[in-house]
Amino acid sequence: MTQFDRNDESIRMEGKKPLGGRIQIQGSKNAALPILAACMLIPGKCVLRGCPNITDIDCMCSLLESTGAGVDTEALVTDNRIVVDTRNVRERRLPEKYVSAMRSSVVMMGAMLGRLGEVCVNYPGGCVIGERPINLHLYGLEKLGAQIWTEGNHIHAYADELKGAVIEFPFSSVGATQNVILAAVTAQGTTVIKNAAREPEVIELCKFLNLAGANIDYAGTFFKSGRIEIRGVELSRLHGVDYTVISDRIVAGTYLFAALAAGGKITLENIPIGQLGSVCDMITEMGANLELDAAQSKITVNACDRDRIKNLPYIETAVYPAFPTDLQSPLLAAACMAKGRLKVRERIFSSRFRIVEELKRMGADITIEGDTAIVTGGRELEGRTVISRELRGGAALVIAGLGASGITTVIDSGYIRRGYQDIVSDLASLGARIRYVD
Ligand code: EPU
């Protein structure tokens, strides 16, 4: 049975069993997806290592294949390796089935404009976590000279020739920054992006493209000012590369919160420690003991004394390097059981409190006031059957189940599989009593 055959299965666990042991953290979904799209730009063969075996990666590979690219995923299951050969791409229309399934399909626009000068897509889909417009993506591509028009649900973009421009985003967007970078790599002249997103996944894309022959300057004042400069190169200068995707800071953070909820002591290996500053600070302030080993890229979290785990009064999500929106739901789940009261303000996405109703059914005390959730912790959660409705919320329900008494069943593990290679086997390796059920 493959990972994807399990999409309709539920996840069942018996809570209140402290975790122990060590696991390796998978490669980063949000780094791998735009890098796969970037392969579209490169008329050659790219080998990507460390790709997580998750459904969103599967979907991006299908998008690439639909353009005529050769995508070899045979070693994805065994070795997390994908080989992409885009020498023969020609199709400019992306199939709705895959575009609608995943938000990050939108970054194929920049890559296809750069490679083929044309693309037709429908509006992208993805997890329902609030309004997710693409106006900044389209604004940036238009500034580079693309003509963009819509017909029904379809967006067409066309450019005889893309030209470098100064693009200032009114606020930071990870995807829009990546889309513009992809289109600007082969544009004539120089592009400057102001107020670019500073997330590590943007840097990863720049590193990959530079290795493949692009000329992107993201050093200098980038971290302070959010300025990225891309000097356009001829398409023929780009060449295939062998690249290893960085590990997933959000998956690592999820398991740190799992340890707070369940108690115990675990070691996470292959961790991007430098990217987890705000999360590690928070976990320590919440009363757990953290040992960071930067040389070995590993973190040990000790939350054996669950009585010491307490809530901080106030947390808000914000762009990197602040606390990430993708860990807001895992934090919320752990906070239900920690002592004291926590206010969490969600500043990135408008509907990221969809799990609150499910947590309340397990006995959590949470109220929502606009963009803020107020959790009164120290509650004993009780196992229930709950429903996962989006990726990070689903993982958070698993965390809640690990800390709850009795049996919890999280229905529809398909959402979780969009981003977690195998949350069940990871947590089982850490001693959790957890399994898939039909
Ligand atoms: N926004 C606009 N217009 C745009 C683009 C974005 O208004 O054209 C708004 C969004 O609605 C949101 C904010 O800007 O309120 C930031 O969105 P951003 O574009 O930065 O997010 P994204 O690129 O769509 C990526 C990750 C998300 C992660 C966010 C924030 C990928 C594939 N997705 O999304 O990851 O939450 O950045 O860090 O990289 C996840 O992995 O579960 C996930 C949702």
pLDDT category of residue 1 using cuts at 50, 70 and 90 = very low
Distance 173 CA to ligand 1 centre (A): 6
Name the residue of 348, 354, 418 to mutate for ligand 1: max ligand atoms within 8 A of Cβ: 348
Q: Which of 59, 61, 127, 206 is catalytic?
A: 127
Name the residue of 28, 135, 174, 198 to mutate for ligand 1: max ligand atoms within 8 A of Cβ: 174
Residue 129 has pLDDT above 60, yes or no: no
Please give the Cα distance from 396 to 317 (Å, whole number): 16
Residue 413 has pLDDT above 80, yes or no: no
Mean pLDDT of 174-200: 97
HSE-CB at 374 with a 13 A cutoff on CA atoms is 4
- pLDDT at position 329: 97
Please give the Cα distance from 420 to 416 (Å, whole number): 6
Please give the Cα distance from 410 to 133 (Å, whole number): 30
pLDDT category of residue 5 using cuts at 50, 70 and 90 = low
Contacts (Cβ under 8 Å, ≥6 apart) of 225:
194
CB 276 within 8 A of CB 249: yes
Secondary structure, 3-state, 51-114 = CCCCHHHHHHHHHHHHCCCEEECCCHHHHCCEEEECCCCCCCECCHHHHCCCHHHHHHHHHHHH
- pLDDT at position 128: 57
Q: For the segment 142-152, what is each residue's pLDDT rounded down to a tens digit?
A: 999 999 998 88
Mean pLDDT of 149-176: 95
Mean pLDDT of 210-221: 90
- pLDDT at position 126: 57
Ligand 1 binding pocket (C-beta < 6 A) is 29-30, 33, 103-104, 127, 131-137, 173-176, 197, 199, 201, 324-326, 348-349, 391-392, 419
pLDDT category of residue 347 using cuts at 50, 70 and 90 = very high
45-49, 110-114, 215-219, 384-388: least confident range: 215-219
Tokens representing residue 117 in the block: 């000068």
Residue 130 has pLDDT above 70, yes or no: no
Q: Average pLDDT of the chain?
A: 94
pLDDT category of residue 125 using cuts at 50, 70 and 90 = low
Please give the Cα distance from 384 to 401 (Å, whole number): 8
6-10, 118-122, 394-398: least confident range: 6-10
Quickly tell me which residue has 């990546």 as its tokens. 178
1-5, 73-77, 199-203, 343-347: least confident range: 1-5
Contacts (Cβ under 8 Å, ≥6 apart) of 145:
159, 161, 162, 163, 165, 187
Q: For the segment 244-274, what is each residue's pLDDT rounded down to a tens digit?
A: 999 999 999 999 999 999 999 999 999 999 9
Q: From atom 24 of ligand 1, which residue's Cα is the shortest distance away?
A: 175
Name the residue of 56, 132, 137 to mutate for ligand 1: max ligand atoms within 8 A of Cβ: 132
Q: For the segment 293-332, what is each residue's pLDDT rounded down to a tens digit?
A: 999 999 999 999 988 999 999 999 999 999 999 999 999 9
Q: Which atom of ligand 1 is nearest to the CA of 319?
A: 38
Angle separating helix axes 249-262 and 277-285, nearest 10 degrees: 10
HSE-CB at 19 with a 13 A cutoff on CA atoms is 33
Distance 70 CA to ligand 1 centre (A): 29
Please give the Cα distance from 232 to 19 (Å, whole number): 50
Q: Which atom of ligand 1 is nearest to the CA of 348?
A: 15
Q: From atom 26 of ligand 1, which residue's Cα is the shortest distance away?
A: 30
Question: Is 127 tagged catalytic?
Answer: yes
User: Alpha carbon 2 to chain centroid distance?
Assistant: 22
Q: For the segment 8-46, what is each residue's pLDDT rounded down to a tens digit?
A: 789 999 999 999 999 999 999 999 999 999 999 999 999
- pLDDT at position 131: 61
